[in-house]
Amino acid sequence: MTAIEPNAALQGSTSLDLEPRTSPADAESSLGTQTGREADPSGPSFGSATVADRYASDLTTADLLGQTDGTAQREALAPGAPAAAPIPLPFRTTSGRYRSQAVGFQLELRIDVDGRRPLRRLSGDYFNISGGTVSYFGSWTVDAVTVTTNATHVKIVGTARTTWTTTFTVATVTVPRTPIFQPAGPATIRWSTPSGAIGATYVCGWEAGAFRTVELEQDCESSVTPFAQYNTGALPSGGPARTLSIGTAYAEAGVQMVDTGGANIISTPSNHVWNNASLHHAMEAHFSRRQERPQFKVWLLHAQRHEFTTATSTLLGIMFDQQGLQRQGCATFYERIAGNSPVNQRRQLYTNVHELGHCLNLFHSFHKNRMDPPMPNRPGSLSWMNYPSMYDPGGGAPAGDGPFWAAFPFQFDDLELAHLRHGFRNNVIMGGNPFGKGAASQEGEEFAALLSDTTGLKLRISQAAGDMPVLGTPVVLEIDLTVERPQQVHTREQLHPKFGFVQVAINRPRGDVVVHEPTVRHCAEPDLLACDSGTRLPISAYIGYDATVGQVFEDPGTYRIRAVYAAPNGSLVVSNTATIRVAAPRSTQDDRAADLLLNNQTGMAFALQGTDSPYLVQGTDALRTVADEYREHPGAVYARFALGMNAARSFSTVEPDGSVHVREPDLGRADSLLWDAINMSREDGGLDDLTVYQAGAYLAEAHAKAGDTDGAHGVRAEIRQLAQSKNAPESVVHSLDE
């Protein structure tokens, strides 16, 4: 991978041994970038880690004395004094936010392995530092980590999904363990590829116990007394009694809400009724920190009444900002929940925390299926984001307001917590993605949740070639539509995802879902075919490279794939779920071939079935290298196929002076490469059958175009015979007719 990206090894970056040789204090002083915030209620000393997490049996008060003043030794304790049992000292929690120095790429690193409700995740945002400017680059998340703790260090390892394309996806984080009386040590993160190639290393100083910090500006309508705090023990509930404000409720989630103070009192006429337009206008007028760019700053208006309130329904709050850069403002309406009664105080707390949750791009528990991408609803969620009246744990258990409040522990549910702490930055930050887009950090099988199947058509998908692909082997999907009763459907060719009638979603082992975006889109009028019962229309499609995420199958592991076909009558036909397991490289040769094939340029060159483009010369060279020097690798035959297809056609290059240079087809080279690929695929292994037929048909057409009618006829006849011998469906054999 040669693109400049933050996980690759950077020029001048430090190559650190991850087993630190200095004490935590030394490491920190050499870093010199501690920027810890005060008044951070979710900081390490406020954590609630288990005893096993927090205490070290190998550190005692004597150790502490030695470490804190730098002079005291064990021997200095009074000789002959009775040997006191060691008093274990609590360690600082490791979880929190860390930041690297502002050079090149700056990393904001979030570690979530201990402390309050640990999710065992890592995440981070990269910022590009260039001169005096700082710009956001991208985000990454590790959804599951392995944590190893010894007396001196915590080591955290996991595979990241990223907002940009990189092969350096394995994160290894090391943090020194320090007693709570000492400053936190720095976290060191080292990136590597799944095959072990080392990428960049960042040393990040501890910044805060909170995973995010949000500036909260609150204004108040003149007739309203805004909410301050509520004791959760005032009424029965599902959690421990404690006093919660907006700030402490979010601190428990790991989000520091910094009240910026200076609340404006907004004078309104008596019986003033707000609507969404007037709320937005008020935000523009009174939100002093508002800017037309994403920022972790939000405006909350404590107001009296909204126009959506009716005699039988009360609008208690709204995130009204759905224009331009969204989610920067919300409002709570006190008309029917004002006062100091516990019920109303609880309602005020709930509504305020809930509306700010919307600003952080959280949907209601019963609206998760409306998000983009959708998730299953969670009506049984005991969360700030549910409606108590809508609470339904299922299984016949009591539902509704009473059971909700009796069990509600005043918290977000785990998936919401993951979003708040570790969602990609633009999915969380105010002014980032529109409300509902990327509103969950975990994505499910949206096709299954969203779409319904119909009768009369059956869509099956499978890996086109039968073998388990080793890392780097191009992944080709066979998409097979069967018509079970006579009707019109798209032609076989138009079932390729590049026409948009079939869409493919890939759930990757790193935890994300890629809705496949082919690199080339064919905008074509639907070409329909009247089919009889039993007609099969199979087509193969290379899905290894994606216009949005680049290389799709870049990690060993299990991929689950699903497709959906939009039939001419509007039906959406959902396929089975195909499982493809990508094997790790088995040899050094495999590893080198994988590196060549997983290059983004190689992926693009393969998606184009070869190219002369000077912009993809590295990819084309990689294909040549794999074809010639790694003939045993399963990817070699695909490389020959792509190079052969390219040789069989002309290629036009527009020169800098505007003239056009045309490279004519090289039939000799095309014959050599494509017949080689075809012959390597006649038995087990090699290209899948449909790709073999495609190669043969393309070669025949190239011969025909060159005036070699006999040659074309010969190629076509041989391929047709091959297809018949392999019992190819009639539609495929027919496509090979002259």
Partner 1 sequence: MELAVELGEGFADDEVTVLVDGQEEWHRTGVTTNYSVGIADVARISGEPGALVEVRVRDLAGRREVGEDARLRADIDVSGKKLALGAASQGDIF
For the bound state, the minimum distance from the C-beta of residue 369 to partner 1, rounded and expressed in Å, comes to 6
Q: Is 603 in the site for partner 1 (CB under 8 A)?
A: no
When the beta carbons of 148 and 389 are compared against partner 1, the nearer one is 389
Q: Which stretch binds partner 1 (CB under 8 A): 354-362, 455-463, 507-515, 678-686?
A: 354-362
- Residue 313 burial (10 A CB sphere; 0-12, 13-18, 19+): exposed
For the bound state, the minimum distance from the C-beta of residue 386 to partner 1, rounded and expressed in Å, comes to 11
Contact letters for partner 1, residues 220-259 (x by CB under 8 A): ----------------------------------------
**Cα→Cα distances 637→115, 516, 541, 687, 722, Å:** 52, 24, 16, 7, 18
The answer to whether the beta carbons of residues 264 and 286 sit under 8 Å apart is yes
For the bound state, the minimum distance from the C-beta of residue 287 to partner 1, rounded and expressed in Å, comes to 17
What type of residue sits at position 589?
Answer: Q
E-strand ranges in 371-511 read: 457-463, 476-483, 487-490, 502-507
For the bound state, the minimum distance from the C-beta of residue 515 to partner 1, rounded and expressed in Å, comes to 17
Question: Binding partner 1 by CB under 8 A: which of 369, 454, 503, 519?
Answer: 369
When the beta carbons of 101 and 503 are compared against partner 1, the nearer one is 503
Nearest to 272 by CA among 295, 249, 296, 305: 305
Q: Rounded distance, CA 7 to CA 174, Å?
A: 16
Question: Binding partner 1 by CB under 8 A: which of 355, 590, 595, 689?
Answer: 355
Question: Binding partner 1 by CB under 8 A: which of 370, 458, 705, 713?
Answer: 370
For the bound state, the minimum distance from the C-beta of residue 251 to partner 1, rounded and expressed in Å, comes to 22
Determine if residue 21 is left, alpha or beta; phi over 0 gives left, psi from -120 to 50 gives alpha, anything else beta. Answer: alpha
For the bound state, the minimum distance from the C-beta of residue 323 to partner 1, rounded and expressed in Å, comes to 10
The site for partner 1, by CB under 8 A, has a size of: 34
When the beta carbons of 317 and 585 are compared against partner 1, the nearer one is 317
Q: Rounded distance, CA 29 to CA 432, Å?
A: 36
When the beta carbons of 209 and 317 are compared against partner 1, the nearer one is 317
What type of residue sits at position 301?
Answer: L
When the beta carbons of 222 and 389 are compared against partner 1, the nearer one is 389
Question: Binding partner 1 by CB under 8 A: which of 116, 121, 212, 358?
Answer: 358
Question: Binding partner 1 by CB under 8 A: which of 96, 226, 431, 436?
Answer: 436
Q: Which stretch binds partner 1 (CB under 8 A): 364-372, 491-499, 507-515, 666-674?
A: 364-372
At which residue do the structure tokens 């004078």 appear?
A: 267
Beta bridge partners of 588: none
- Report CA Rg, the chain: 31
Q: Is 341 in the site for partner 1 (CB under 8 A)?
A: no
Contact letters for partner 1, residues 298-317 (x by CB under 8 A): ---------xx-xxxxxxxx
When the beta carbons of 6 and 374 are compared against partner 1, the nearer one is 374
Two tokens, residue 3: 């693109």
Q: Rounded distance, CA 86 to CA 93, Å?
A: 21
Question: Binding partner 1 by CB under 8 A: which of 354, 422, 516, 716?
Answer: 354
Two tokens, residue 671: 């014959």
What type of residue sits at position 639?
Answer: A
Assign 447 to helix, strand or coil.
Answer: helix
For the bound state, the minimum distance from the C-beta of residue 226 to partner 1, rounded and expressed in Å, comes to 16
Number of Cβ within 10 Å of residue 410's Cβ equals 22
| Site for partner 1, residues 675 to 694, rule: CB under 8 A | none
Cis amide leading into 44 (omega within 30): no
The answer to whether the beta carbons of residues 121 and 144 sit under 8 Å apart is yes
For the bound state, the minimum distance from the C-beta of residue 250 to partner 1, rounded and expressed in Å, comes to 17
CA 162 to chain centre: 6
Q: Which residues bind partner 1 (CB under 8 A)?
A: 276, 307-308, 310-320, 322, 330, 332, 351, 354-355, 358, 363-364, 367, 369-370, 374, 387, 389, 435-436, 450-452
